[in-house]
């Protein structure tokens, strides 16, 4: 229903800003601190946050959108998060310190 209602850009913007947009802004602020602390490589926190969010969505978004998987149990959620973090760290882990 939301996607159908979002044909009005204002409706889509409001739902994005109140939901997904808030989550991604939180991730962006978090990753800015993580990058500044040298925990992950230097990158644009805006992009880093969106990459991480996309990795979390990758295994569940379309399954839910098309009602193929209507619920997620704790075990499945933990597995999805573990895989997303693994891929994310492979892309963004900080290089080893030079000695």
Name residues whose C-beta falls within 8 Å of residue 14's C-beta, 6 or more positions apart in sequence: none
* Cβ atoms of residues 52 and 3 within 8 Å: no
* Cβ atoms of residues 74 and 82 within 8 Å: no
Higher pLDDT, 8 or 60: 60
Asked if the structure places residue 98 within a domain, the reply is no
| Number of structural domains the chain divides into | 1
Q: What's the pTM value of the predicted model, to 2 decimals?
A: 0.81
Residue 99: pLDDT band (50, 70, 90) is: low
Residue 13: pLDDT band (50, 70, 90) is: confident
pLDDT digits (tens, 9 = 90+) for 29-57: 999 999 999 999 999 999 999 999 999 99
Asked if the structure places residue 53 within a domain, the reply is yes
Asked if the structure places residue 99 within a domain, the reply is no
Domain carrying residue 42: 2-92
Asked if the structure places residue 46 within a domain, the reply is yes
Give the pair of three-digit tokens for residue 91.
């892309």
Angle at 86 between CA 42 and CA 71, to 5 degrees: 120
- Give me the percent of the chain exceeding a pLDDT of 90: 64
What burial class does residue 24 get, using C-beta atoms within 10 Å of its C-beta: 0-12 exposed, 13-18 middle, 19+ buried? Answer: middle
pLDDT of residue 6: 62
Q: What is the CATH number of the domain that holds 75?
A: 1.10.357.10
């Amino acid at each position: 229903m939301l996607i159908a209602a979002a044909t009005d850009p204002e409706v889509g913007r409001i739902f994005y800003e109140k939901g997904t947009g808030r989550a991604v802004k939180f991730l962006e602020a978090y990753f800015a601190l993580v990058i500044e602390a040298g925990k992950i490589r230097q990158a644009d926190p805006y992009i880093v946050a969106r990459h991480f969010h996309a990795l979390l969505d990758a295994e569940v978004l379309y399954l839910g959108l098309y009602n193929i998987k209507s619920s997620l149990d704790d075990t499945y959620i933990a597995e999805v998060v573990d895989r997303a973090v693994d891929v994310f760290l492979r892309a963004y882990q900080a290089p080893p310190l030079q000695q």
